[in-house]
Amino acid sequence: MTVGYSGLVIIARSGDTRLDELACVDDLFVAVTDNVRACGWRIGFLGPVDDSSEGDLAADLALETAAPAIALSVFDSDCAWATAADPSGSTVAFHLNEEIVRILAADDGEDFEPLNSQALAGLLVWVEKAGLVTSPDRLAAALEERPGPFGDGIYAFAEALGIAELPE
Query: What's the pLDDT score for residue 1?
Result: 41
The pLDDT, as a whole number, for residue 56 is 94
Burial letters for 38-48: b for 16+ Cβ neighbours within 10 Å, e otherwise? eeebbbbbbee
CA distances from 115 to 80, 81, 83, 98 (A): 12, 10, 11, 8
Residues 78-124 have pLDDT tens digits of 999 999 999 999 999 999 999 998 888 888 778 878 788 899 999 99
**Would you say 56 and 123 are in contact if contact means Cβ atoms under 8 Å apart?**
no
Residue 59: per-residue pLDDT: 97
Whole-angstrom CA distances from 82 to 15, 51, 54 are 22, 16, 6
Question: How many angstroms separate the CA atoms of 97 and 93, rounded?
Answer: 13
Angle between helices 116-129 and 136-143 in degrees, nearest 10: 130
Give me the phi and psi of 135, to 5 degrees please. Answer: -105, 125
CA distance 60 to 24: 6
Q: Where are the domains of the chain?
A: 7-161
> What is the Cα Rg of the chain in Å?
15
